[in-house]
Amino acid sequence: MRAVNCDCKVLENIRLNDTICMLKAEWTDQEHAPKAGQFYMLRCWRQDEAPLLSRPISVHEWDEAANTVTFLYEVRGEGTQKIAALKAGELLNLTGPAGNGWPVDQLLGKKVALVGGGIGTAPLYQLAKELAAKGEKPSYFAGFRDEPYRMEAFEPFCACTALATDSGRFGYHGLVTELFDAKEYDVICCCGPTPMMKAVTKLALEAGTEILVSLENKMACGIGACLGCTCHTKKSGAISVCKQGPVLKGEDVYG
């Protein structure tokens, strides 16, 4: 499906903590409805204004009935600072939905674990929702440096949720990889920092469990035109993460 570009009305833009924000915007183009794991390129500044590039942000939630798309994002630099400053009623330029997304239908009937780290938990929420809507309840394991966010939002859509933090102030004191036994699952869907995704891929492959990872490479165009997001895979050689990904088989990227 071709990505489309439009100016969308911001309905809500709230701060969950010092660096994490959640923005809800109108998306009325049902023909181009986003799927779990896809992303948009976000921009709220002129083409001749800095920063040069739009910001790729994954879909946290798509509400078909309300025609809204929600982004959970970390404020990291100039672009995300500008997005975080948007107020309800202002316009946000969206290009998308882009990328392949999670293969939800292929997960049905399987025991699925969602494993996320930090802001990498964002694209797992819509996946949990879509699986639950089809009668499947995945297990959710999340790791954060310190204070977690959106844990409770996953609960209605998951068979269980578990939390690990580096600080030990919340949940289990340790790594998210210590929360689950990969052997107990048919498939693990993972998104987070690269060392975490590598570690989860290793555990999954040792256990003979299917592993899907969602990459967060830097992106320029977001539509497969600039080669700015190239990743070398075992099976297909160099691919564009924005077009053939961001969801890829773990063994193809890290195996």
Residues near ligand FES (CB under 6 A): 219-222, 224-229, 240, 242
State in angstroms the smallest separation of the CB of 217 from ligand FES: 8
State in angstroms the smallest separation of the CB of 213 from ligand FES: 17
Cα–Cα dist 208/68, whole Å: 38
Nearer to ligand FES, 97 or 138 (CB): 97
Nearer to ligand FES, 75 or 226 (CB): 226
Sign, Cα dihedral of 158, 160, 138, 248: positive
State in angstroms the smallest separation of the CB of 229 from ligand FES: 3
State in angstroms the smallest separation of the CB of 225 from ligand FES: 5
Burial class (CB in 10 A: 0-12, 13-18, 19+), 155: exposed
Nearer to ligand FES, 151 or 226 (CB): 226
- First-residue to last-residue Cα distance in the chain: 30
Specify whether the CB–CB gap between 249 and 237 falls below 8 A: no
Cα–Cα dist 193/204, whole Å: 17
Nearer to ligand FES, 210 or 252 (CB): 252
